[in-house]
Chains A and B, each alone.
Chain A
Amino acid sequence: ETGVTQSPTHLIKTRGQQVTLRCSSQSGHNTVSWYQQALGQGPQFIFQYYREEENGRGNFPPRFSGLQFPNYSSELNVNALELDDSALYLCASSPRGVEIGELFFGEGSRLTVL
């Protein structure tokens, strides 16, 4: 069984640029959520996708957007990057959209904005 994989693992961007982060969910998991973890802090919920639609969003501006594809993989897009966007971005998958269960996290994509 393949776990959650994320790419790229590290990347550096400059302020104002755009970035796309990718996530492949664990086999059989149809729900994907994204979290931002700033240095020294706990993860913060960005949004969740279920059946290719966003069905929950945290306190993040519209320049944070996402997609989920028919194979349940997902992308996180961030436009107009700001210095404070520097963080570890974590993708997590789970088996169903509404069941309560543990999340399976990838190892994250570390974004540095200069």
Chain B
Amino acid sequence: AQKITQTQPGMFVQEKEAVTLDCTYDTSDPSYGLFWYKQPSSGEMIFLIYQGSYDQQNATEGRYSLNFQKARKSANLVISASQLGDSAMYFCAMREPLRPGSARQLTFGSGTQLTVLP
């Protein structure tokens, strides 16, 4: 079974500073996908970044980068130059691998509430 762990219930960061949100995962499958989503107070889930287990390079999307350490089974999200609008809940998620009969749903971590301070 897959498991996603986010050990930081809450994080604070000063505006314009960088912050790292931790995510570790557990799976016995060699093929998997890792996602980060942002959920503001409105409730919508905003896709931030994706990392495939076979991707050689760490994923980057603008101010978001994923520090993927496969051997340690960690996929930490790094947000650079934090902005006040970054204050939200952040979820790490894993998608199960492609196999017959699999719907490939996402399994979510417990989330980290990030607060950016002015």
Decide whether A and B are members of one complex. Answer: no
